[in-house]
Structure 1
């Protein structure tokens, strides 16, 4: 089913997952959908390998953690998710050099904590990896010394950005 993209989230300079100037990073783009889910799109490269032609399980955990944790920003762009717990289940090998989609959603939201689920989808739509996470809500100034300009925290649009995403 296709879902309309409502908004593209920001990227940063050096983050492993979203950093556009991190040569070994995933350079992930995040899109907020009309159905309230967040979709991450990225293509793993050889530097993300574990077994030959397979993405490392730790990278799978990192992209799921970031996608679920960012999903709270759909409701409030000033709240960041700090991981309390993440449970990852590996169902299928994840190939390199293939565009992948990661879906994250909030399943429970309270004043201090939120919970969410997510999955990595292969290009054929099959679920390769799933995760369930619990996060503490925090403003960025309580997490790190974060200067938006220095970190280049901005929305970077490209001609390849989709207006709809099929899930």
Structure 2
């Protein structure tokens, strides 16, 4: 089903997942959807492989972790999730050099923790990897010395930003 994109989330400079100036990163873009889920779009490259032509399982875990962890920002932009637990299930191989969609959602939200699930979707809509995770809510000041200007933490509009995403 296709859902309207409500908002694009910020990217940074060097994050392995969302860093736009990290030559080996995923350069993923994140979009808040009208159904309350978060979608990520990225295209894995040869440097993200395990077996030839296949996405490394750890990289699949990284994009799922980031997508689920960012989903909390849909309702609270000031909360950052620190991963407590992440469980992955690998269903199908993930090819390189094809644009992929990842979707994440919050399934439980308490004062100190939140939980969520997510999937990497292949071009045909099949689930390649699924995940569930638990995250601690913390303000950024307790996680890292983060300067928004230095890290170039901002929304980067693109002509390729979709108006809707199929999940």
**TM-score of the two chains, using structure 1 as the length reference:** 0.99
Classify the secondary structure of the residue corresponding to 2:60.
Answer: helix
Aligned partners of 1:166, 1:126: CA distance in 2, in Å?
A: 12
For residues 29-48 of structure 1, the aligned pairs below 5 Å read 29-48=29-48
Deviations along 1:13-58, one digit per CA (max 9) or x if unpaired, are: 0000000000000000000000000000000000000000000000
Tell me the equivalent position of 2:164: 164
The answer to whether structure 1 residue 82 and structure 2 residue 110 are counterparts is no
Aligned partners of 2:99, 2:123: CA distance in 1, in Å?
A: 7
For residues 60-99 of structure 1, the aligned pairs below 5 Å read 60-99=60-99
Tell me the equivalent position of 2:58: 58
For residues 1-167 of structure 1, the aligned pairs below 5 Å read 1-167=1-167
Deviations along 1:95-117, one digit per CA (max 9) or x if unpaired, are: 00000000000000000000000
Classify the secondary structure of the residue corresponding to 1:65.
Answer: helix
* Equivalent residue pairs, number: 167
Classify the secondary structure of the residue corresponding to 1:4.
Answer: strand
Structure 1: gaps (5+ residues): none
Q: What is the CA-CA distance between 1:84 and the residue it aligns to?
A: 0.1
Classify the secondary structure of the residue corresponding to 1:51.
Answer: coil
Aligned partners of 1:98, 1:140: CA distance in 2, in Å?
A: 33
Instruction: List structure 1 runs of 4+ shifted beyond 6 angstroms.
Output: none
Deviations along 1:55-98, one digit per CA (max 9) or x if unpaired, are: 00000000000000000000111100000000000000000000
Aligned partners of 1:82, 1:90: CA distance in 2, in Å?
A: 23
Q: What is the CA-CA distance between 1:166 and the residue it aligns to?
A: 1.1
Structure 2: gaps (5+ residues): none
Aligned partners of 1:10, 1:70: CA distance in 2, in Å?
A: 10
